[in-house]
Structure 1
Amino acid sequence: MKFKKWISGTAASLLIATSLFGATPLAQADEVQKRTIAEESIYDLLVDRFFNGAGENDYDTNTKDPAKFAGGDFRGLQDKITFIGDMGFSIISIGTIFDTDKYDGSMPTSYTALEEHFGTAEEFQSVVEAYRAKKMSIMIDFPLSNVSPNHEWAKDPAKQSWITSSNDGQVQWDLANEEVQAALIEAASDFVTTYDIGGVRLTNLDGANTEFVNTMIEALKDTKESLYVISNEESDANFDATFSQETADIYRNIFKNVDMDSAKLMEPFSGEKPMQIMVDTLSTHRFTFDSANENMFPPTRLKMAMGTLFMLPGVPVVQYGTEIAMNGDKAPDTHQFYNFKIDEELIDYIENLQTLRNKSATLRNGEFELITNDNGLLVFTRTSDEEKWVIMVNNTSKTKRVDLTPEQLGDKKALNGILNEEKVRLNEKDVYPIILDREMVEIYQVKDDEGLNIPYMVALGLVYVLFIGFVIVIIKRGKKRRQEQDTAQ
């Protein structure tokens, strides 16, 4: 079974490599510095729920009580750097990591000290450096309000005027108070300076006016020009990427079943800033929960959603566990400890999608043109001066066909299907007929029609040679084992 998976993975990798033969090369180091957030993809996780790499910080942990700390830590993030990197994410958002009364960081007690369950400052710095060495950056959450009553500021008698209210067991700062504003800006800026992280997500913005938030964003970027600053809330502030809960709901509702109204799919792309696009958030029920309630098969639904999100304009954001179809209605059930012993089919699918996206600047920021959008049937192109791609999403209950014309693609072209290995050429009716089975996504690279794809044929031949070689080895081992058994008898 493992060999079968290896063969299919090898074939897919070789196909991708040969399909991208001659395409735009990967960005060099100086080009990476000029990237915008629209070219990134974000993996959103909770440190405590990911991987336990160090036992010495596991005091008062209980993996059987979902409300308790489970043991995930900074060393665990470093141990799993290859796992995350192989999926192709460029930004790892790890939530709030300050001292906290609660595992998910929602009850911080400091803006300086790190949570001891997660590890030491030195271990965190090691994580930041390790990910940076692999061309990935770490993003942390910085909550502007809604902290624990045990927060060091809340316990300071001199700062009692900073507190405006206390609801749901959390303390709310007076974000209109200039002293509070200055203290928050200083704390966040000091953290960025100390640890050289790649991004900050400002959370709990309620009560913060746009002018203050913009001042904070400017201060953070003055500290580090390349820093990304975003939020998980709607705001008119000058964030690098926008967020809309309605957008997340649109994608969740379109892909949780087939034949859904997809008319609103394009709404997120009307703004000047790139939109964060996702089907899950860590504060809501899981997409798997929604699709299962529709009596649909969640892994297939997730393939449809991921195959679309990674190809559309915007910033793909994937919550940890989405790639293993993690289920749950609400926290803490939606914050399960990560299961690394699960089937990796969906993980491999995401890896293939991101391999394409990361190797092609056109798929990240090329011109977008919508061709078809009809109740789950979606066809669009991503184009640049260097290359052109056609993406077909058949999120319907029937096989679909769409005819593209030479006016749309050009004369004497061929469409090389990447995920399902299909090739489309101009037919006798002078159209390019693309046909896709139900609940499938295909990504076509538009190339000049030069007949047989020699690199691909060579690569495919190599896969078969490897397979035949493996079979021969197994047969010989079997014969040798039988001979040994006969001799022993």
Structure 2
Amino acid sequence: MRRGVVLVLLSLLLFPTVVGAKEAATWEQERMYFIMVDRFVDGNPDNNEQVDKDDPKAFHGGDIRGVIEKLDYIESLGFTSIWLTPVFENMPDGYHGYWIKDFYNIDPQFGTKEDLQELVQEAHKRDMKVILDFVVNHVGPNHPWVEEKPEWFHEQLPIVFWKDQEQVETHWLFDLPDFKTEDPEVKSYLIDAAKYWIEETDIDGYRLDTVRHVDKAFWKDFVEGVRSVDPDFYLLAEVFDPDPQYVAQYDDLGFNSITNFTFYDRVSKTMTQQQANVDEIDVAASYAETFFNDPNQMATFLDNHDVERFMHMAELGGVESAERRLRLGLFALYASPGMPIVFQGTENAQTGGADPANRVMTEFPGNEELHEYVATMNRMREEYPVFATGEQRMIASEDGMAVFERKDGDDVALYAINMNRDDREIEIDVSEIGEDTRLRGLLFSQLVTDQRGTFTIELSGESANAYIVEESSVNPWMMGLLVVTIPIFLTGLVMWKRRK
């Protein structure tokens, strides 16, 4: 993005017109930066006993101290919260954090409890929230508890039929010992551990891993338990399934938010293809509107640590410019309903296929132009919260270009995306937007006015723009009067000069 484009948005953000800013951010207004701790920044080389950077499945040295060092960087990109992969003590080679050994200790490879406390304090000084990943479905492979406490675990059986919910909840996920979460002792242990870290570190929330693999009765008790410590504690449930009807069964268990894999499956995937279908944005939004209580509370993302990176898929998809498509993907992520989550390295156009190729160390200083674009997206969300709180409807779609409305009461904004390589324009009837209004572009300096009952939005190839809907500064009756009186005035002026 050219610096001039950013300046256009900045000037509009400093002087907003119709769509106003709200003072206190709610969770749908958060912009979350997702960090895999071991693959972010090595802030303390003294704890690198198990590091082997030549092995993609070994520790690479990232730690909590490294996250602390980069808080200013994350803040400069405009993010308001961070989500960390689990930092608890893991079984050997558990660099990702999901093979937990001890729920009450920090893994020495990641740091100490004091490091985590400092991280939360430093983040809060910057008005940033900290979300920890928490796993209750399983422990790491070959955990000693399987022999010491066999009554705590389900029988070791593989998940053969993934549509069989009983198997999903009670069989082992690969070689990971599956907690018998319906057992009162297991339930108490896990809930007490979750409460412990809230009390000890003042974290703001948990991202809950493998939610679909745990019985729903447990989750109701878990939610009640952690909220007894902090009634406002945030809970983000990961339900790894693109079927919104299936995922919706978890919407009434008390979670604040659920991962929107439908958005990933419909929007992110199509935008990496040469023949992208922009209407998939409407499909994903319609599913969320149909099946969930509040689509804006859903957590949306282009990619994460469990799937191939967007850039990699775009490269395989044969698009002309993978980075240009990434910008369009980010735009759709921020303009659409849902709380946007950006995986570390996305701001650098980092690529990578399936695990572990999608989990390489983050590059610094990285792609500064793309950093600017990400910061611009975050500013748009902050200053125009209708993109976070508004309902969405598609008001026009034609030949690979579409226009969407976001509306929250009197606050109205539009956004348009052209997925074609060539320039496109689309006409919108005034009845869709309102009389005596105009559209002011946020990313590009466009002023779209009503021309005989029609608004015409023009976009260059593979580009997007957002618009605020504002009252027209010129009254049409006054304009008509001027059209009549100015010629009369000029004629009179000429005649007066001739007389002189």
Q: Same fold (TM over 0.5)?
A: yes
1:212, CA displacement in angstroms?
Answer: 1.3
Structure 2 residue corresponding to 1:272, chosen from 282, 286, 293 = 293
Contact kept, 8 Å, 2:12 with 2:442, in 1: the verdict is yes
- The residue aligned with 2:488 is none
In structure 2, do the counterparts of structure 1 residues 372 and 265 end up closer, same or farther at CA, with 3 Å as the change threshold?
farther
The verdict on how the C-alpha distance between 1:239 and 1:352 changes in structure 2, with shifts beyond 3 A counting, is same
1:120 is aligned to 112
**Cα gap change, 1:51 to 1:12, in 2 (>3 Å):** farther
User: What is aligned with 1:139?
Assistant: 131
Choose which of 11, 15, 32 in structure 2 pairs with 1:42: 32
* Equivalent in 325, 335, 343 of residue 359 of structure 2: 335
Within 5 Å, give how 1:185-200 maps onto structure 2.
185-200=191-206
Deviation at 1:62, TM superposition (A): 2.5
Does the CA contact (< 8 Å) of 2:6 and 2:376 recur in 1? no
- Of 37, 43, 56, which residue of structure 1 is paired with 2:46? 56
Residue pairs, 1:286-325, within 5 angstroms = 286-296=309-319, 297-325=321-349
Map 1:72-111 → 2, pairs under 5 A: 72-100=62-90, 101=92, 102-111=94-103
Q: Output the aligned Cα RMSD.
A: 2.3
- The residue type paired with residue 374 of structure 2 is I
Aligned residue for 1:173? 179
Partner in structure 1 of residue 467 of structure 2: 444
Unpaired stretches in structure 2, ≥5 consecutive residues: 157-171, 240-246, 475-500
Q: Could you tell me which residue of structure 1 aligns to residue 265 of structure 2?
A: 249
**C-alpha displacement of 1:108:** 1.1
* Structure 2 letter corresponding to 1:93: W
Q: Which amino acid aligns with 2:115?
A: E
Stretch moving more, 106-115 or 163-172 = 163-172
**Alignment match of 1:130 (pick from 122, 133, 140):** 122
Kept after mapping to 2: 8 A contact 1:286/1:327: yes
1:17 positional shift: 3.1
Alpha carbons 1:110, 1:152 under 8 Å: kept: no
> 92-101 or 323-332: which moved more?
323-332
Q: Residues 240-268 of structure 1: CA distance to partner in whole angstroms, max 9, x if unpaired?
A: 11234343211222211254333433323
The separation in 2 between residues aligned to 1:209 and 1:82, in whole angstroms, is 40
Q: How many angstroms apart in 2 are the aligned matches of 1:171 and 1:285?
A: 26
Scaled by the length of structure 1, the TM-score of the pair is: 0.83
In the aligned structure 2, how far is the partner of 1:18 from the partner of 1:404? 28
Matches within 5 A, 1:365-444: 365-374=389-398, 376-427=400-451, 429-444=452-467
Corresponding residue number in structure 1 for 2:167: none
Task: Find the aligned partners of 1:293 and 1:371 in 2 and give their Cα distance.
Answer: 32
CA contact (8 A) 1:92 1:137 kept: yes
What amino acid is aligned across from residue 50 of structure 1 in structure 2?
Answer: F
Residue 105 of structure 1 and its aligned partner are, at CA, apart by 0.7
Q: C-alpha distance in 2, partners of 1:230/1:17?
A: 30
- Of the three residues 351, 356, 367, the one matched with 2:380 is 356
CA offsets 1:274-294 (integer angstroms, 9 cap, x no match): 322222121111111111011
Give the structure 1 partner of residue 16 of structure 2: 20
Q: 1:384 to 1:249 in 2, by over 3 A?
A: closer
- Closer, same or farther in 2 for the Cα pair 1:371/1:25, shift >3 Å? closer
Deviation, structure 1 residue 373: 4.0
Q: State whether residues 90 and 137 of structure 1, in contact with CA within 8 Å, keep that contact through their aligned partners in structure 2.
A: yes
* Cα distance in 1, alignment partners of residues 221 and 314 from structure 2: 41
Q: 2: distance between equivalents of 1:231 and 1:376?
A: 34
One-letter identity of the residue aligned with 1:245: F
**1:281-322 Cα shifts (integer Å, max 9, x gaps):** 211111111110112222111111110111111121221122
Amino acid at match of 1:41: R
CA deviations on 1:110-153 (whole Å, 9 max, x unpaired) are 11101111111111111111111212111111111231246574
The answer as to whether partners of 1:45 and 1:319 remain within 8 angstroms in 2 is yes
Indicate how the Cα distance of structure 1 residues 25 and 38 shifts in structure 2: closer, same or farther if over 3 A, else same: closer
What's the CA shift for 1:365? 0.2
> Could you tell me whether the CA contact under 8 Å between 2:347 and 2:367 is conserved in 1?
no
- Structure 1 residues not aligned, in runs of 5+: 452-489
In structure 2, do the counterparts of structure 1 residues 41 and 146 end up closer, same or farther at CA, with 3 Å as the change threshold?
same
Please give the per-residue CA displacement for 1:354-383, whole angstroms capped at 9, x wherever unaligned: 101112222210232321245642211122
Does the CA-based 8 Å contact 1:412-1:448 persist in structure 2? yes
Cα drift, residue 195 of structure 1: 1.2
**Aligned-partner Cα distance in 2 for 1:23–1:91:** 24
Deviation at 1:12, TM superposition (A): 4.2
TM-score (norm 2): 0.82
Provide the rounded CA distance (Å) in 2 between the counterparts of 1:369 and 1:205. Answer: 30
Call closer, same or farther: CA 1:190–1:330 in 2, change over 3 Å: same
Q: Is the 8 A contact 2:419 2:461 kept in 1?
A: yes
Q: Structure 1 residues 98, 373: closer, same or farther in 2, change over 3 A?
A: farther
CA 1:46–1:416: 2 relative to 1, 3 Å = same
Please report how far the alpha carbon of residue 239 of structure 1 lies from its aligned counterpart in structure 2 after TM superposition.
Answer: 1.8
Quickly say closer, same or farther: Cα 1:176–1:418, change in 2 above 3 A: same
Helix, strand or coil at the partner of 2:101:
coil
CA contact (8 A) 1:280 1:287 kept: yes
Q: Distance in 2 between matches of 1:375 and 1:146?
A: 48
Q: 2:454 & 2:40 partners in 1: Cα distance? A: 49
1:385, CA displacement in angstroms?
Answer: 4.2
Does the CA contact (< 8 Å) of 1:49 and 1:337 recur in 2? yes
**Aligned-partner Cα distance in 2 for 1:240–1:447:** 33
Residues 29-60 of structure 1 show CA distances to partners (whole Å, capped at 9, x for unaligned) of xx34xx2x322222211011111122222223
Following TM superposition, by how much is the alpha carbon of 1:93 offset from its aligned partner in structure 2, in angstroms?
0.7
Deviations 1:372-423 (A, max 9, x none): 2456422111223453211001123332222233323233322111111111
User: 1:137 and 1:110 mapped to 2: Cα distance?
Assistant: 25
Distance in 2 separating the partners of 1:55 and 1:146 = 30
Which letter does structure 2 place at the counterpart of 1:349? Y
